[in-house]
Amino acid sequence: MANALIETRFDLPGQTDFYKGKVRDVYTVDNDQLVMVVTDRISAFDVVLPQGVPYKGQVLNMIASDFLDATKDIVPNWKIATPDPMVTVGKKADPFKVEMVIRGYLTGHAWREYKAGKRELCGNPLPEGMKENQKFDTPIITPTTKADVGHDEDISKEEIIKQGLVSEEDYAKLEEYTFKLFERGTQMAIDKGLILVDTKYEFGTVDGEIVLIDEVHTPDSSRYFYHDGYQERFEKGEPQKQLSKEFVRAWLIEKGFHGHEGQKVPELSKDFINGVSERYIELYEKITGKTFEKADASIDVEKRVEDNIINYLKNNR
Report whether CATH 3.30.470.20 matches the domain 95-243: yes
Alpha-carbon distance of 279 to 185, in angstroms, equals: 21
Domain extents for the chain?
Answer: 15-92+245-316, 95-243
CA atoms within 13 A on the CB side of 269: 5
Local confidence pLDDT in tens for the 317 residues of the chain? 568 999 999 999 999 999 999 899 999 999 999 999 999 998 887 788 888 999 999 999 999 999 999 999 999 999 999 999 999 999 999 999 999 999 999 998 899 999 999 999 999 999 999 999 999 999 999 999 986 655 679 999 999 999 999 999 999 999 999 999 999 999 999 999 999 999 999 999 999 999 999 899 998 889 999 999 999 999 999 999 888 777 788 888 888 988 888 888 888 888 989 988 998 998 899 999 999 999 987 789 999 999 999 999 999 98
Same fold? 15-92+245-316, 95-243: no
CATH code of 15-92+245-316, in short, is 3.30.200.20
47-48 and 79-84: which strand pairing? unpaired
Please report, as a single letter, which amino acid is at residue 67: F
DSSP state of 114: H
List, as one string, the DSSP characters of 258-290.
Answer: ---TTPPPPP--HHHHHHHHHHHHHHHHHHH-S
